[in-house]
Structure 1
């Protein structure tokens, strides 16, 4: 009859994987790594939701370092196989976290660092793998190995992302010119001849190249200028995240420095509409007409019941974008493009970068203030106004139609049309872009002739 305890082997010794209390080391490993993952989610989604890239990345490193530290402490206290080697990845990640939080590097510095940390992390992964194989047996290895594999994949992905970003900048150079507006330059791409000049305002995740279908159709009838706000597309970064009024001031300076003549017809898509409204409120003498293409409403936080929840989700999600794009996951945050080639390829490449993800996060973080500033525009004083509403938004968003009607009330000289289109399709898809171009042309014609707009 076998009277040995299940916690002893044939020689009466305790298994190497347990202490006298019988705690399996594999369970401790799993609990430690899980704790690090849960801590990461809590930090980025609850504690610092929507924070800048260096804070999000630093928080993730802090949480993962906490998991490695737990592994060292708990295996030392609860098992006979202490994994003291895990204090090294804990220390490395903690140090990286501290450096990010203290120095708060911006995009240019983070881009340089994205070449530096991958070889360091790969070396750390290799060292950790050797130490793990020597110090750990059984199921514990199967919990740690995937984590090390993910860290290695992230390092390789970072190098891939760096190469892709470099290729994007070289393969798709600026289509217009860079103009100084102080301590940075903005990109402006003007085509065609004639007055009034049309100025295009980008929506979230868009840049001047996103207007390719519209600019191609308008350039034959009038002058049209697409531009990138600071941090977008080919424009340089500003020293801080900009609100709508600051963006308006820079656009006014940009147009003046480039020799463009107002007053202008402003055309904004999505949140670009609210940036156009802020410009019109600050420089009414520079605005001869306006076109709002499925535009956001300055009262969107209250006028659209679902928007506050949607905004909170977007803020959390987009804040993760730059960090994930740095490790090669940028294409996940690009919705692709329905533009014709080669414009579609350029849009896809330039909106898949960490810089584009960072700009999207910065813009969404500033949106409440941008919306509030746009409320300063209460009337266009009879200037021609065209409002296009996409069927996708009209059918899918409660309160959208009423908000669009309120936008149309900015001028008694208004044309409001519903268009069978997706939200993005108003500038990217053939039918939507044609309808947008027609609306802009109608406003241009009304300005030129001094005649009222008419429904079509």
Structure 2
């Protein structure tokens, strides 16, 4: 029993990474289902060949998953119909299989193994029904404001508020969207023009066809700003992974960056890599397939359950609504998984910024939850500029710098300190 089903899982993984399977959610889903169908078919065939208890019922899940997988693989557009059909059909199939196994299989160990699989399938069916019904009543809350700008074949959402210069660009961390700047953006926009945007595949932005490493993210942001007629030079503020992206931007477009704020930024690493976007490669294709596989947590309701469990982040209500919505989107899960898998390359690309001259550089560090090595890396970042400040916010966590109002106010103040230094052509000082 276990060997047959394990073979099905292995077949599913092999199909997912097969070069003839397109890197799309429907094709990858179809490949997984076809692989699992092989496992059920093996169970059927081996029970006939080597036992006196043929498990004829195994033909049903083999056909169910095989036909469903081929439909998705070959005709991806049918997913809108199938998503309403497969949860109740799978649940009914599980109940029927459980009854047949109780009748046809004498082995207690075999029944236990299969019942464990049936429980997983039943949970997937229930989660899939929840996801389908809930998603039917949702609309994208990111699209109620801002503008969509076409960049390299996909649309990115940009929202700018406030007046005066220099313009501040806020860059969130790994998995972040513009919603994560819910406290920061309005506070900074009260003093100068401030822009937030959603990276490809999340928030209000469409997925990109190109690999989204740090260099490509910086290039896309540059194109976005110019196409939207957002004038520079810019003050770039990056939190966590966003700190890597703003350093890559500054390395690639030094004349367009007037100041930097690194907000508990991820450290760069050696050796430094080129900030020129690399062409798609076999490794990029593998990462894309793995990230798409991770996004299968959405159709079965796991991502929605995760969003419900993590609860309120502490951001304003509208931004909280945006975060909740974004957590349940397959494009978001794929984008976030892809981003983490490319994080090592981004940290090396960020190391290409070796000298920021005497431009204002503010390094802000969370005082809670960071070890001494993290703080040492933060301190070392100040050596990029002769006009730099390092400050630790005691009591603030990594996410708290953005999401807890009292600490977000100090983060906003740090960004505005850079703005004032740039605007008045004076040395950077840290206000309290």
TM-score, normalising length: structure 2: 0.81
CA change 1:324–1:66 in 2 (3 A) is same
Give me the whole-angstrom Cα distance separating, in 1, the residues matched to 2:79 and 2:233.
40
Match of residue 366 from structure 2: 390
Residue 212 of structure 1 aligns with which residue? 182
Structure 1: stretches of 5+ with no match in the other structure: 1-31, 303-313
| Superposed CA offset, 1:382-436 (max 9, x none) | 11011111123423xx621222122221111011011121111111111221111
Unaligned runs of 5+ in 2: 18-22, 273-286
Q: For 1:291-330, what aligned pairs fall within 5 Å after superposition?
A: 291-299=261-269, 321-330=294-303
2:401 counterpart of 1:426? yes
**How many residues matched?**
406
1:84 aligns with 2:60: no
Q: Which residue of 1 aligns with 2:231?
A: 261
Instruction: Name the residue aligned to 1:230.
Output: 200
Aligned: 1:331 with 2:331: no
Shift of residue 54, structure 1, vs aligned partner: 6.8
CA distance in 2, matches of 1:119, 1:137: 28
Which of the residues 144, 149, 162 maps onto 1:192? 162
Match of residue 272, structure 1, among 242, 252, 256: 242
| Structure 2 match to 1:23 | none
Deviates most, 280-289 or 338-347: 338-347
Deviates more, 1:380-389 or 1:70-79: 70-79
The answer for the alignment partner of 1:72 in structure 2 is 44
- What is aligned with 1:407? 381
| Alpha carbons of structure 1 residues 434 and 34: separation in structure 2 relative to 1, 3 Å | farther
Q: Distance in 2 between matches of 1:236 and 1:451?
A: 40
**Within 5 Å, which residues of 2 pair with 1:7-406?**
32-33=1-2, 36=5, 40=9, 57=29, 61=33, 64-94=36-66, 114-115=83-84, 117-118=86-87, 121-122=90-91, 124-125=93-94, 128=97, 131-132=100-101, 135-136=104-105, 139=108, 143-145=113-115, 147-170=117-140, 173-299=143-269, 321-334=294-307, 335-336=310-311, 337-395=313-371, 399-406=373-380
In the alignment, structure 1 residue 416 sits paired with structure 2 residue 390: yes
Rg (Cα) greater in structure: 1
CA gap 1:234/1:293 in 2 versus in 1, 3 angstroms: same
Aligned alpha-carbon RMSD (Å): 3.5
Distance 1:388 1:322, change over 3 A: same
Give the Cα separation in 1 of the matches to 2:253 and 2:26: 36
What is the SS of the residue equivalent to 1:236? coil
